[in-house]
């Protein structure tokens, strides 16, 4: 085996994945990601129009969200290599839309609520496109970022649950800023993993990127909502 081939197949988890396969996984990820936005919007609309999200107390809502989200993620992991994988993922995104309805409804209640939602949506889109473009430019391996991003995500999750009881506006703003930064980096990290051949399942890739986009949008909407309510 020549030196170049030996270098290509040692010390690199994605070396055995062809460029064609990587591009196919990335293309399928983008298509499924776009499709996943439909049940998310539908879930949020149903949640707002029926008042389902507001019908639950904040405490019950938090429990339902945590149990439902982790339950769905477990089911997606179990079905990602079967025909049930995509329907389970889309059911998960519908559920996440329902859980977003409380925040969306609260922002819509503001005088410029619809504008704030569009601003959060547009800003999230710009961040996603920016990270996607950056993933094509950066040549270095970013896999080492994963553990630090995971630790950061875990910390903001714990702090977010704590703030549910503390109800600190300053902490909420701080957490929203941190969530935006951490999960923007996660978008870059997940897309780069697909490009480098580390992630070869487009359902898993879609789940990772979707969760990052969801968190960025939710954090930005909270920030814009706080800013809008103070005017």
Q: Is 43 within 8 Å of 95 (Cβ atoms)?
A: yes
Q: How far apart are CA 210 and CA 33, in angstroms?
A: 7
pLDDT at 231: 55
Tell whether the model's pLDDT for residue 2 goes beyond 60: no
Domain boundaries, given as residue ranges, for the chain: 18-229
pLDDT at 24: 93
Q: What are phi and psi of 33, to 5 degrees?
A: -65, -45
Distances (CA, A) of 153 to 35, 137, 150, 193, 222: 25, 25, 5, 18, 17
pLDDT digits (tens, 9 = 90+) for 80-139: 999 999 999 999 999 999 999 999 988 998 888 899 999 999 999 999 999 999 999 988
* The model's pTM: 0.88
Residue 54 token pair: 């507001």
Q: How far apart are CA 73 and CA 204, in angstroms?
A: 10
Tell whether the model's pLDDT for residue 56 goes beyond 50: yes
Q: Is 171 within 8 Å of 197 (Cβ atoms)?
A: no
Average pLDDT for 26-47: 95
The number of beta carbons lying within 10 Å of the beta carbon of residue 10 is 9
Q: Is 82 within 8 Å of 27 (Cβ atoms)?
A: no
The number of beta carbons lying within 10 Å of the beta carbon of residue 26 is 19
DSSP state of 144: T
Residue 118 token pair: 């569009």
pLDDT at 7: 32
Q: Is 214 within 8 Å of 94 (Cβ atoms)?
A: no
């Amino acid at each position: 085996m020549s030196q170049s081939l030996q270098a290509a197949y040692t010390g690199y988890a994605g070396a055995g994945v062809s460029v064609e396969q990587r591009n196919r996984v990335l293309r399928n990820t983008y298509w499924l990601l776009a499709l996943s936005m439909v049940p998310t919007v539908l879930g949020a609309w149903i949640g707002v129009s029926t008042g389902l999200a507001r019908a639950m107390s904040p405490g019950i809502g938090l429990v339902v969200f945590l149990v439902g989200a982790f339950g769905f993620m477990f089911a997606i992991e179990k079905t990602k290599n079967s025909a049930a994988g995509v329907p389970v993922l889309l059911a998960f995104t519908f559920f996440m839309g329902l859980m977003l309805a409380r925040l969306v409804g609260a922002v819509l209640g503001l005088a410029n609520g619809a504008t704030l939602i569009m601003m959060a949506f547009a800003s999230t889109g710009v961040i996603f496109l920016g990270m996607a473009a950056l993933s094509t430019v950066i040549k270095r391996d970013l896999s080492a970022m994963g553990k630090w991003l995971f630790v950061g995500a875990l910390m903001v999750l714990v702090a977010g649950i704590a703030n549910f009881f503390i109800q600190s506006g300053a902490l909420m703003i701080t957490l929203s800023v941190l969530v935006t930064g951490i999960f923007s980096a996660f978008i870059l990290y997940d897309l780069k993993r697909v490009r480098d051949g580390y992630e070869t399942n487009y359902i898993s890739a879609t789940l990772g990127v979707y969760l990052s986009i969801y968190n960025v949008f939710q954090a930005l909407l909270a920030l814009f909502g706080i800013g809008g309510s103070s005017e």
